[in-house]
Structure 1
Amino acid sequence: MASDAFFPFPDCVEIASKSGIKSVIQPGGSIKDDLSIEFCNNNNMSMVMTGIRHFKH
């Protein structure tokens, strides 16, 4: 699953996992990134953080 926004809470990766998604790519940057990372690590999911957002305000 790809997202141009960070995941502020692990609920997004939990839903992705329940849907069979095994890999997530996102920019990162949430103060709660560790919660999503921990969920992925504990549920055999990979997560890539790019550090780059393409969406500009």
Structure 2
Amino acid sequence: LDEEVRACHGGLEGSCMVSDAFFPFRDGVEVGIREGVAAIVQPGGSLRDWDVIDCCNETGVAMVFTGQRSFKH
């Protein structure tokens, strides 16, 4: 069973990753992409947004910027 889960990336193949905060570095989206995420939704606003955009463009993953954070400190 464990091998089957690993082989199908835990069922994430083709899924959408949604974050209520921006990705400050590309490593967060790289993990999702490596596990099969096909689209990413996030508010944006990081100083390194272009690094994250480049990562998605390089791998053919769609990304949507909402421009709105969903949590407050």
TM over 0.5: yes
Q: Following superposition, which runs of at least 4 residues in structure 1 exceed 4 angstroms of deviation? A: none
Percent identity for Structure 1 against Structure 2: 51
One of 16, 27, 38 as aligned partner of 2:32: 16
Unaligned stretches of 5+ residues in structure 2: 1-16
Unaligned stretches of 5+ residues in structure 1: none
More helix by share: 2
Question: Which of structures 1 and 2 has the bigger CA Rg?
Answer: 2
Deviations 1:14-36 (A, max 9, x none): 00011000100000000000000
Question: In structure 2, how many angstroms separate the alpha carbons of the residues matched to 1:41 and 1:54?
Answer: 25
TM-score, length-normalised on structure 2? Answer: 0.76
Cross-structure match for 1:35: 51
**Over aligned residue pairs, what C-alpha RMSD do you find?**
0.5
The count of residues paired between Structure 1 and Structure 2 equals 57
TM-score, length-normalised on structure 1? Answer: 0.97
